[in-house]
Chain A
């Protein structure tokens, strides 16, 4: 295994696999305002994200099937935006996706988000990382 492979394995072992095994708010919500569809027809990843916009801020959960990376990424996203207002959540998604696409050096303090951004350097998995973030951005955009 080379250095690239070691970095990849470590990021997975330390962050992605544990997060995907114990994802944040991983359940179906019955009392919800909106169900976002984070689907990737190419690989079969399918997550339903249950969103409600309450007085105390955004409330969420998700459920479905996907790879460790897409599951962990969704989990990290939902944990980050829980309780935030719509504008804050939109801003986060927007900056994260911009970082992912353009490699801007916006400094995230959250270690898990940094991990996701590092994993963009591994070919072919960027869609797994951004799947739920894009669905969230589209949901928040018209509400902003």
Chain B
């Protein structure tokens, strides 16, 4: 497979850049940047309100993204609402849906590997409602412990909220096993798919998933674009948490009739250019052979693992060789991840260091922090060698 680097202008402006922090955000291809510019230059208008051609065109482009997304995750377009990101999506689901079902003494189950964005909203909600937040640990493969999940879910469990792929370990959780447990017990399931996009997208048709959230900026799209999937059966029960223009069907005196979901959840003027840019990102992803880019990622990850494994004093978090994601977390003996990241930065290598918004996971593993490498389709084998050489120099300085 040809390197896709040329499609990303940032590498033209920074030819030495080695960007391996893709779990935080991906770079943006020219197709996305150009589409946003084109919208502002030629099509700029608000949506859903104007009668003129420009407004109609903007509305169509905006809604086209919803349709493309629906095809991407195999659902009806009306199941998808746009938000500012995965974090906002989780918070909206917590406050507008799950909040209604919770009574004192109920519980919500999450896993220990959750990103804070799929942990804190549930912790807060449980505290407010006098409920228990239960946390499932990991099995030997550093996936969710499915037996423990089964044990911790009971007749008072009102939601299981888990990530598909760990942003720290790169572990892929088996959603078939998880959803089997939740559907047998008739418990709603929320999936955080923030790290699944591009290589491991989930089909909502094949799995009994009630809610799914992810962000556009991790799939080559613009910042400020989030996706919230809600299953149709909840449409009657959910209530918006934000009110404003664009969501109203009719107001007569004090009686307000709102539009249906998802429009009732998109109050005010949304991030129109961002959503249209997200559409371009989806078209960009859809232009690839999914199997090919996935195989390429696995091969590339193998090369990075091989180079890293040759280093003195390296230890990996989890089992990165077992899972087909581009995420590798590691530590070098006696060298703090932040020092490593600083030195790598001086060699134009961008990695993430710290706890990656997964502090409960680090406490569970008995680790303080880590360096995280996360790959995408513009990374190369040559970069794995440069990373190894740079790390070798750091090890030498520490002696």
Give the B-binding residues of A (Cβ under 8 A): 1-2, 4-5, 8-9, 12-13, 17, 42-45, 65-69, 122-125, 128
Q: A13-B397, A17-B398, A44-B369 are in contact. Are A67 and B339 (CB under 8 A)?
A: yes
B 343-354 binary contact with A (CB < 8 Å = 1; else 0) = 101110000011
Distance in angstroms from B187 CB to nearest chain A CB is: 33
Distance in angstroms from B354 CB to nearest chain A CB is: 5
Q: A17-B399, A42-B354, A44-B369 are in contact. Are A68 and B336 (CB under 8 A)?
A: yes
- A12–B398 Cα distance when bound, in Å, is 9
| Closest residue of B by beta carbon distance from A119 | B342
B372 on the A face (CB < 8 A): no
Residue contact A44 to B398, C-beta cutoff 8 Å: no
B 329-345 binary contact with A (CB < 8 Å = 1; else 0) = 00000011111001101
Contacts of A66 in B (CB 8 A): 336
- A8–B393 Cα distance when bound, in Å, is 12
Residue contact B346 to A65, C-beta cutoff 8 Å: no
Residue contact A9 to B343, C-beta cutoff 8 Å: yes
Q: Which of A1, A44, A128 contacts B362 (CB 8 A)?
A: A44
Q: Which of A4, A44, A128 contacts B368 (CB 8 A)?
A: A44
Residue contact B346 to A68, C-beta cutoff 8 Å: no
Q: Which of B335, B354, B368, B369 contacts A68 (CB 8 A)?
A: B335
- A11–B120 Cα distance when bound, in Å, is 40
Counting residue pairs across A and B whose Cβ atoms lie within 8 Å, the total is: 55
Q: Count the B residues whose beta carbon is within 8 Å of the partner chain — how many?
A: 21
- A43–B347 Cα distance when bound, in Å, is 21
B355 on the A face (CB < 8 A): yes
Q: A65-B368, A67-B336 are in contact. Are A5 and B399 (CB under 8 A)?
A: no
Residue contact B368 to A9, C-beta cutoff 8 Å: no
Distance in angstroms from A116 CB to nearest chain B CB is: 14
Q: A17-B397, A17-B398, A44-B368 are in contact. Are A68 and B347 (CB under 8 A)?
A: no
- A45–B337 Cα distance when bound, in Å, is 11
Contacts of A5 in B (CB 8 A): 346-347
- A12–B335 Cα distance when bound, in Å, is 12
Residue contact A69 to B338, C-beta cutoff 8 Å: yes
- A4–B393 Cα distance when bound, in Å, is 15
6 cross-chain pairs, A with B, having the tightest CB-CB distances, nearest first: A67-B336, A5-B346, A67-B338, A44-B369, A43-B354, A68-B339
Distance in angstroms from B232 CB to nearest chain A CB is: 40
Residue contact A123 to B345, C-beta cutoff 8 Å: yes
Q: A1-B347, A5-B346, A65-B368 are in contact. Are A128 and B397 (CB under 8 A)?
A: no
- A65–B254 Cα distance when bound, in Å, is 59
Contacts of A122 in B (CB 8 A): 342, 346
Q: Which of A1, A43, A45, A69 contacts B346 (CB 8 A)?
A: A1
- A96–B202 Cα distance when bound, in Å, is 53
Q: A17-B399, A65-B368 are in contact. Are A125 and B342 (CB under 8 A)?
A: yes
| Chain A CB within 10 Å, residue with most, of B335, B337, B346 | B346
| Chain B CB within 10 Å, residue with most, of A44, A65, A122 | A44
Residue contact A8 to B339, C-beta cutoff 8 Å: no
Distance in angstroms from B205 CB to nearest chain A CB is: 40
Distance in angstroms from A51 CB to nearest chain B CB is: 24
| Closest residue of A by beta carbon distance from B336 | A67
Residue contact A44 to B355, C-beta cutoff 8 Å: yes
| Closest residue of B by beta carbon distance from A13 | B397
Q: Which of B341-385 contact A (CB under 8 A)?
A: 342-343, 345-347, 353-355, 359, 362, 368-369
- A42–B359 Cα distance when bound, in Å, is 10
Contacts of B368 in A (CB 8 A): 44, 65
Contacts of A17 in B (CB 8 A): 397-399
| Closest residue of B by beta carbon distance from A14 | B397
Distance in angstroms from B21 CB to nearest chain A CB is: 13
Contacts of A9 in B (CB 8 A): 343, 346, 393, 397
- A122–B344 Cα distance when bound, in Å, is 12
